[in-house]
Structures are given as C-alpha cells and as structure tokens.
A = this chain, B = another copy of it.
Amino acid sequence: MTVTLKDLSKAIGVSVGTVSRALNDKSEVSAETARRVRQLAQDLGYVPNRAGRALSAQKNLNTIGVLLPSINGPFFDDIKQGIKEAEAEFKDLGIEVVLHEVEGWDVQEHLQHIQALKDQGCKSLALCTVDDERIRERINELEQENIPTLLINNKVQDCKNICFVGPDYHRSGEIAAALLHKSRFDQELNILVVVGLKSHHGHAARVQGFIDELERRKSKYKIVDVVEGEDNDITTQQVTMEALRNHSEVNCIYMASGSGVSGLGAAIIAESLGRFFVIACDEIYTTRELVKSDIIDFVICQEPRVQGYQAIKLLHDYLSKTRTGSINDFIVGNIIKLKNHFE
C-alpha cells in the first residue's frame, strides 16, 4: 500500500532514523546515503503521513506566524475568522497560530513585526503586507533560513514566497463592467469611479479591468471622473459629493475600494437616492446594509473567510508534506452578491 519510512529503511538497509534525517536534510547524514534515500523515496512515491508526523511533533509544535494590517480594517474580520477556523481544525495536527495585527501599511512597522514573529519561533509565515523592495528582500532571506512565507490578499512581486492566496483584482473589475453592461445595455453610461488610493495595486487593477471590459463590450460609456477616497469614510464622502455636483450627468458609480463605503453611501443619499446604478467591492457590515437599503445594487466579494482558512491550510500542508519549492497559488472567486444574498 502506502510507502512508509520503514519500507524505505528496509529497502536500503539503513535505520528509519537515518532515513528520516536524510529526508528532512538535517546535515548529519552522508551525502551518499542522503542521495540514495531521496532517490528511492522519489521512485517509490513516498509521502509522509500527516498523522505520524503530527503525533511526534506534538512536543515541539509547529507555529505559523500571521501578519495582518487589520487594525481598524473591518474587511479583515472575515479573514481572521477563517484563520481561527483553520487553527481550530489543525490544532490536533500540531499547528499553532500567532497573529500580529498592525494598522496600515508602514514598511518599517511590518518589518519589525516579521522579526518579532521569527523571534517567537515561528516555523513559517503568512503575511498580508506591502509590495516593497525591503519586504521582498526580507522574504528572500527568510526563504534562505528555511522559513517559508505565504502571501495573503496582496502580492509582493518576484519574491521567493511559496504561494499567494487572494483574489484576481483585474477580473473583479471586468465583472463589474459586465454587470453594468447587462443591466444598463441601452443607456449611455456616465460613470464615476471611486478608489481608495490610485497607487493601490488592487484598486488600480480593478479599474483597469473595468475599463478593459467596457471597451471589449463596446459599451457607450464615459468615465466622468476617478476620485480618491483615501480608504476612509470622511474623504470618500467629500470627494464623491463634490464629483456628483460637478457632474450631474453621472448615472453609474463604481466603487473599486472596499473601505470608505459608508462615506459613499452618505454621499449618494445626500445627492438624491435612486438616481444611480452602484457597484461596490468587498463585503463588510456597512456594505451589506447599503445593499439591503437598495443604495448599492451589486457587491463583488472575494471570499475573505476562504482566504484566511486556505492560508493556514496550505502552510500546514506544506509543512507536513513538501517542505520545499513553491506550490500553486490559491485564487479565490469573484462572488457577485445582491440583496437576497444577505437575508
């Protein structure tokens, strides 16, 4: 049946201890033996047994460090929920989670927390962090030190993380445009786009996808303005109201940022409700309420709970199986929701 360490040890004629060491490349094994063992393991398709590994690791359990910029960010609640679920599920398989939360995207602060997680003995990391040169370098160093890193929700380009768990932002924008096109195919679309920050990779990708799709469908549209709400409600309300006053022709609003929705809602209410077709992104309490009140027509969500859960699960898998190289990204769905999804 399934190949075990004992099988390998018998076949080669060394002890199980040696086989184990060879496979986990502790360096206290001769290069020759190590090669033979690995070769055979490969040939016979040896896969370590999670139960065995978990049991023996109990004494010395595997800690996963998580960093989220979740302070004052309600979007992260569901990601945290998913992480908690996974932690409970994998607890008896020898997994422990340490969560560090920060506010915002300050590179120095993120670096400090990464260091702190490492100092706490984390064997692997799951990070939602900034696409910045210093972060990239740090992740590459960690890879050298055998601390695999997984990225959640936001990619860091060209670095040695084992995989990415998160959405396809460009596709999210496409879907918003497609919905708009289906629902208002016969009108001229005068669209106001609201983002958090134009420099934010995810928001920018959404807007790009949105425009690409409008073009592809040959919609009669005009992007009247793109305004920045700075991911907070007050600014969002201000800039939205201003834009709506300056452009009375607006009949659609695309909100590409998940934060600041409350401000958006306030602006729409102030500027005569019901005049606009509104698509927003990401499901938080406020968004749900605005959909229920018919102020927002559709929300395009990104399965945050699944992201949190899968981040932990994939690291668990990695630690208890592969332990080397990179694995497939996990791209969550773009889930369209309307009023009826929230009742």
> Chain A: residues with CB nearer than 8 A to chain B?
2, 47, 49-52, 54-55, 58, 91-94, 171, 174-175, 178-179, 182-183, 213, 297-298, 333-341
Are A340 and B213 within 8 A (Cβ)?
yes
Q: Which of B51, B171, B183 contacts A94 (CB 8 A)?
A: B51
Provide the residues of chain B in CB contact with A47, threshold 8 Å.
92
Are A338 and B179 within 8 A (Cβ)?
yes
Complex Cα gap A269–B54 (Å): 58
Are A175 and B338 within 8 A (Cβ)?
yes
Provide the residues of chain B in CB contact with A183, threshold 8 Å.
182-183
Complex Cα gap A237–B171 (Å): 34
Sample of 6 further A-B pairs with CB below 8 A, known A179-B338, A333-B335:
A2-B91, A51-B92, A51-B93, A182-B297, A213-B340, A335-B335
A-B contacts, 17 of them at CB < 8 A, read: A2-B92, A47-B92, A49-B55, A49-B92, A50-B51, A50-B92, A51-B54, A51-B55, A51-B58, A55-B55, A171-B340, A175-B338, A178-B339, A182-B298, A213-B340, A333-B335, A333-B341
- Select from chain B the residue with minimum beta-carbon distance to A174: B340
Provide the residues of chain B in CB contact with A94, threshold 8 Å.
51
Are A93 and B50 within 8 A (Cβ)?
yes
Complex Cα gap A10–B50 (Å): 28
Q: Which of B93, B213, B334 contacts A341 (CB 8 A)?
A: B334
- Select from chain B the residue with minimum beta-carbon distance to A176: B340
Are B175 and A341 within 8 A (Cβ)?
yes
Complex Cα gap A298–B174 (Å): 15
